[in-house]
Amino acid sequence: MDFKKLSVFLKEAGLPAFRLKQVHDAVYKNFAVSWDQIPSLPAPLRERLKTDFRINSLDIADTLVSKKGDAVKFCFEMKDGLRIESVLLNLLPEKWSLCVSTQAGCPVRCPFCATGKKGLKRNLSPDEITDQFLAAANYLKTTRSHKIASVIFMGMGEPFYNYESVGEAIKTMTDPDRIGLGQRHISVSTAGHVPAIRRFAKDFPQCNLAVSLHACDDTLRNDLVPLNRTYPLSQLAKALTDYIVMTKRRVFVEYVLMDGINNSRSQAARLNSWLRSVAAPKYFTINIITYNRTGGPYRAPAKDRVKVFAGILEEYGFEVTIRKSLGDDIAGACGQLAGK
């Protein structure tokens, strides 16, 4: 919602300033997505606003609910017709997390990820990111009277290739006068954009940082995460050490497990020594993500082999979680977002 434009409009129409505040609170506190959802405005004013202003920049093209009801995927259409997706995840009772997209497509092109397949279409604007939250919050409020407790920037795109918009969106989400989430309830996942990790440490030291590692030797990582060719593991290690020294915060390490690719005992040993070269194990939580099918040569390891890999890392002294895969029946799990 363009509040600057609305402010000018209201002034020129000779309307009192409190109308602006009314709309502002209806959007950010009550999650109104249409003018009819702001009944406190006089009907003639609402009609005038309808012709000139959109509250939410996104149209919901599709809403898919998983069989268990613990994941809801939204397919949004933007003004130019491009589509992006967001996923609501019910990880704890009544605690919902929203996974938002930051780009249409992704320039990094990891070969196992559905988003990366087609490359980058374009960056999202700050509003297009925030509006995913507002639309999903409206949905949760109207369908279940629940709220969104946390936001993860892990949908389509590499957030740190769209740093300005992501930064603006985080400010809107954490500003007490607007959405008002705590910084600690915001997590950003990067494929390892070194300069932006440094910037993020300064700008948002209370937010959570997740790094998609997947491999600890440059040859394999160059293939799995092509951004590694620009920012190899040695540079990533230095940036993470500095991040931890500066913020004193733990880093979430994501490791998508693919059978026969990165799940051997020696690769677990390599992960251990690479992480220890960055900081002590207490500074990491390793999130094991079992590969979700996206078409292509990769395979998920069997469940017990995932557990074995996680067990080895635990023995090395790390906190390890195996990420629950919610919403794979609606193609809403990690890496499956394609915006079709």
Is 85 labeled as catalytic in the residue annotation?
Answer: yes
Whichever of 97 and 292 has its CB closer to ligand SAH, that residue is: 292
Closest of 286, 276, 284, 268 to residue 217, by C-alpha: 268
Site string for ligand SAH, 253-292 (x = CB under 6 A): -x-x--------------------------------x-xx
Site string for ligand SF4, 164-203 (x = CB under 6 A): ---------------------------x------------
Site for ligand SAH, residues 47 to 66, rule: CB under 6 A: none
Q: 51: buried, middle or exposed (CB in 10 Å: 19+, 13-18, 0-12)?
A: exposed
CB 97 within 8 A of CB 88: yes
Site for ligand SF4, residues 68 to 107, rule: CB under 6 A: 106
Q: For 238-283, what is the HEC assignment?
A: HHHHHHHHHHCCCEEEEEEECCCCCCCHHHHHHHHHHHHHHCCHHH
Q: Are strands 319-322 and 103-105 parallel, antiparallel or unpaired?
A: unpaired
Single-letter amino acid code for the residue at 157? G
Among 74, 112, 252, 284, binds ligand SAH (CB under 6 A): 112
Angle at 8 between CA 49 and CA 55, to 5 degrees: 35
Choose among ligand SAH, ligand SF4, none what residue 105 binds, the Cβ cut-off being 5 to 8 Å by kind: none
Single-letter amino acid code for the residue at 76? F
Whichever of 41 and 159 has its CB closer to ligand SAH, that residue is: 159
Other CB atoms within a 10 A radius of the CB of residue 99 amount to 28
Among 20-28, 51-59, 108-116, 229-237, the segment contacting ligand SF4 (CB under 6 A): 108-116
- List residues near ligand SAH by CB under 6 A: 106, 112-113, 154, 158, 189-191, 212, 254, 256, 289, 291-292, 294, 334-335
Per CB under 6 A, residues contacting ligand SF4 are 106, 108-110, 113, 115-116, 157-158, 191, 212
**What amino acid positions are annotated as catalytic residues?**
85, 334
